[in-house]
Amino acid sequence: MIEDLAALQRTVDDFLHAAVHDIRGPLGQVRALAVLLARQHKTSLSADGQELCGLIEAASKRAVEVVESIHVFAGVLEAPVFGVTDLDAVVDSARFTLQGVIGENRGVITRDDLGSIQGDRSKLMLLFEELFRNALKFRGEAPPRIHCSIQHTADEYVVLSVTDNGAGIDQQDADLVFKPLKRLHGREYEGTGMGLAICRRIVEMHGGKIWVANGSAENGSQRGGAEFRFTLPNFQTVAT
């Protein structure tokens, strides 16, 4: 039974990778042709024609982004490679990868001493990258402030938190945000709606769970923002 499920998973993975490859090329060509048409025939195209070319380019660009997100999601489905993982180094690497967009938003990402857990380093780095991207995208009026902390429990898991001072989330949407291709804000924000779905999948592959709530009260006032919490295997418990 387990072997059959593993074979089925490999078939699904192979299909997703092949489909992404075969779809990505034509979509890219459509976008390039729309840009070329608008550029080379700018004087002969009517205003409506120019607008249509722009709509074709925007729609194909959006489609390419969705396909790319599905490709990333397919990569997440691959079996994790577990090992002792330094979470401080993972968070620092994710922060370094996003330093451009962090700087553009005048954001600051800080962390406590997080220690080590048992996990897949590359997938956990992607997890933090996606959580940071989400916080930077749904920022409030103030510059983004993102903080990572950890809580040690009595069982075999640790609870990690990524908090921000952004727009927060309606609690009725607390589960919907983790569904693939779910965009609660429509076209108001760029994105494909895959980021938090990727986060959930990574956490679940580690045997944990992830949830989100609005920021808790602080100093007698509502801090606002969102707090993503997730559980991961405790290295000390796994190692013994």
- Residues 224, 44: Cα–Cα separation, whole Å: 52
Q: What is the pLDDT along the chain (240 residues), one digit of tens a residue?
A: 445 545 655 666 666 667 666 676 777 777 787 778 778 777 787 888 788 878 887 777 777 777 776 767 666 667 778 889 999 999 999 999 999 999 999 999 999 999 998 899 999 999 999 999 989 988 888 899 999 999 988 778 899 999 999 877 777 777 788 887 666 555 555 656 788 888 999 999 999 999 998 765 443 334 568 899 999 988 654 443
Give the domain extent around 25: 2-76
Residue where a domain stops, chosen among 54, 76, 98: 76
Residue where a domain stops, chosen among 28, 57, 76: 76
Tokens of 99: 């330093």
Please say whether the beta carbons of 227 and 215 come within 8 A.
yes
Residue where a domain stops, chosen among 43, 76, 109: 76
- Residues 90, 132: Cα–Cα separation, whole Å: 12
Q: In the chain, how many domains are there? A: 2
For position 98, which CATH number holds?
3.30.565.10
Q: Say if residue 208 is in the same domain as residue 175.
A: yes
The helix/strand/coil state of 220 is: coil
- The amino acid present at 233, given as its one-letter code, is P
Please say whether the beta carbons of 76 and 202 come within 8 A.
yes
Q: Say if residue 215 is in the same domain as residue 166.
A: yes
Q: Say if residue 130 is in the same domain as residue 181.
A: yes
Q: Which of 197, 167, 192 is nearest to 179 (CA)?
A: 197
* φ and ψ of 227, to 5 deg: -130, 110
Q: Which of 138, 101, 129, 96 is nearest to 202 (CA)?
A: 129
